[in-house]
């Protein structure tokens, strides 16, 4: 918060300084224009009211000083002009303020000859000043001039404006800093909470709370995503614990069984045919343990992309028919019905036949386990669109629990019912999904409810079959 607040404040101050400089320049120029207009107005008033023509000569009236002081009070101006009333030849007729900025004592005729009514000059005293001249008209003839000399510093002086501008900028700085501080604090607090929660997760402590009602969309998404991630990590931690317990149990059971049976044979507890039967059971358990270890090694190798997938062109009707026939021969049970629905047209795809069989056999075995040897399995090959083929493996078993649907493709996950009914490590579906993706396809759970569960294997059709 200190990092961002400091940088926001520096940015705000720089912005306000730029605004202040531009404002000062603009106010100075505006003040100059306004005060020059006031000066023009004073010169015109003097020419109209306080100068008259008598006996062919221009004569100033009395009351110029009183008029100027009255106007200063009304306009609340600090202008202190020098006024000359001169004739057409430049002879000074009147100097009401009795101040002469010209050290030579002679009024410069060049000021009258200049065609500009407003002139900026440097007086003989070295002071920058503005000169405003207004003609005295008598019957259309210029009989003289009213010349007003005003210091440039006085025309651009802005004491009150400076105070107002400074007050405004300081107020904006304080309000801006307070706003930045409040907003930064509002944004940083949930981020700090997430950082604290991350330290809890690092220590495998998932007992923390995060704010829920956050109006800022990005911060809300951050907090929501972290909650989902921590929940996912907590679930994975639970699965890891279950994995250790499951793998330990699955490997310990055959080892214990084998140890007991072999011990009985060695100690002559059994003999003859019974001893041979004990050895057969031990061999079966050893093979089962070997299969589980092989599954682990194969899965880890596949995760590390060390097992290549050899894809080739295959007629999908023929390939699927062979896979279904081989599985049906090995799983010929009285209460189990296997139905297959192939495409009427011949469609080729580029797949690895062995890996395809591995995925489908796993799906068929899972369906058989769900049916517990009594029910119907349907395998359907169809076109999803012009580019994708789909294979649905459907069974009419009890379905997958709602809370387990998002976890079935997790490594080592086994559903509650499956834990006690069958042996295994929970690698079948994750392994099958990885194989499908390695063939540019995918394996998804299409639907599952009591009486109907469908897994869909998708893969692309050959491009020349479009």
CATH code for position 266: 1.10.287.130
Let me know whether 301 and 447 are in one domain: no
Q: pLDDT tens digits for 105-127?
A: 567 888 888 888 888 888 777 77
d(CA 148, CA 133): 6
Question: What pLDDT shows up at residue 185?
Answer: 78
Domain identity same for 316 and 282: no
Residue 428 pLDDT exceeds 50? yes
In a shared domain, residues 318 and 232 = no
Split at pLDDT 50, 70, 90, the class of 465 is very low
Residue 120: helix, strand or coil by DSSP? strand
Give the domain range for residue 459. 312-465
pLDDT of 385-399, one tens digit each? Answer: 878 889 999 998 888
User: Are 283 and 320 part of one and the same domain?
Assistant: no
Residue 361 CA to residue 68 CA, distance in Å, equals: 110
Do the domain assignments include residue 206? no
- Long-range contacts from 73-78, C-beta under 8 angstroms, 24+ separation: 75/38, 77/35, 77/38, 78/154, 78/157
Q: Give residue-wise pLDDT tens across range 3-36.
A: 777 788 788 888 888 988 898 888 888 888 888 8
Contact by Cβ (8 Å): 47, 83: no
* 179 within some domain: no
Do 234 and 370 sit in the same domain of this protein? no
Do 287 and 330 have their domain in common? no
Query: Whose CA is closest to 388, among 309, 465, 315, 445?
Result: 465
- pLDDT > 50? residue 161: yes
The CATH number covering residue 157 comes to 3.30.450.20
Of 95-109, 197-211, 336-350, 434-448, the range with the lowest mean pLDDT is: 95-109
Question: Do both 303 and 325 map to the same domain?
Answer: no
Q: How many domains does the chain have?
A: 3
Residues 303 and 399 grouped into a single domain: no
Confidence of residue 55 (pLDDT cuts 50, 70, 90): low
- Do both 303 and 323 map to the same domain? no
User: What pLDDT is stored for residue 43 in this prediction?
Assistant: 84
Asked if 15 and 144 sit in the same domain, the reply is yes
Same domain, 265 and 121: no
Choose the final residue of a domain: 253, 282, 307: 307
């Amino acid at each position: 918060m200190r990092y961002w607040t400091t940088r926001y404040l520096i940015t705000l101050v720089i912005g306000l300084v730029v605004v202040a400089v531009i404002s000062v320049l603009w106010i100075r120029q505006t003040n100059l224009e306004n005060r020059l207009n006031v000066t023009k107005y004073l010169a015109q008033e003097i020419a109209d009211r306080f100068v008259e023509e008598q006996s062919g000569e221009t004569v100033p009236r009395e009351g110029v000083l009183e008029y100027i002081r009255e106007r200063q009070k009304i306009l609340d101006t600090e202008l202190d002009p020098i006024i000359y009333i001169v004739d057409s030849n430049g002879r000074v007729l009147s100097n009401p303020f009795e101040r002469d900025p010209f050290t030579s004592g002679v009024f410069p005729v060049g000021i009258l000859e200049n065609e500009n009514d407003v002139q900026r000059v440097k007086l003989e005293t070295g002071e920058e000043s503005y000169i405003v001249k207004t003609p005295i008209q008598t019957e259309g003839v210029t009989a003289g001039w009213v010349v007003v000399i005003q210091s440039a510093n006085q025309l651009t002086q802005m004491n009150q404006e400076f105070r107002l501008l400074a007050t405004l900028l300081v107020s904006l700085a304080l309000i801006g800093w307070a706003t930045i501080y409040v907003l930064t604090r509002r944004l940083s607090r949930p981020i700090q909470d997430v950082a604290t929660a991350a330290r809890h997760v690092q220590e495998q402590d998932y007992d923390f709370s995060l704010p829920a009602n956050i109006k800022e969309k990005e911060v809300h998404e951050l907090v929501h995503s972290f909650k989902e991630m921590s929940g996912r990590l907590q679930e994975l931690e639970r699965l890891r614990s279950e994995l250790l317990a499951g793998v330990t149990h699955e490997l310990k059971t055959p080892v214990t069984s084998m140890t007991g049976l072999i011990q009985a044979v060695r100690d002559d507890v059994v003999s003859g045919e019974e001893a041979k039967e004990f050895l057969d059971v031990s061999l079966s358990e050893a093979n089962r343990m070997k299969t589980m270890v092989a599954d682990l090694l194969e899965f880890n190798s596949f995760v590390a992309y060390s097992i290549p997938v050899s894809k080739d062109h295959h007629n999908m009707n023929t390939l699927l028919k062979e896979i279904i026939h081989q599985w049906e021969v090995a799983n010929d049970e009285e209460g189990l019905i296997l139905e297959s629905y192939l495409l009427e047209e011949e469609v080729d795809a580029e797949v690895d036949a062995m890996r395809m069989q591995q995925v489908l056999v796993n799906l068929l075995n899972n369906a058989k386990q769900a049916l517990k040897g009594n029910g119907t399995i349907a395998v359907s090959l169809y076109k999803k669109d012009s580019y994708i083929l789909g294979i649905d493996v459907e069974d009419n078993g009890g379905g997958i629990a709602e809370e387990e649907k998002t976890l079935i493709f997790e490594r080592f996950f086994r559903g509650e019912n499956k834990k006690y009914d069958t042996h295994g490590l929970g690698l079948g579906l994750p392994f099958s999904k990885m194989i499908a993706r390695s063939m540019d396809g995918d394996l998804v759970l299409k639907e599952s409810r009591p009486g109907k569960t469908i897994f869909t294997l998708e893969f692309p059709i050959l491009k020349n079959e479009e």
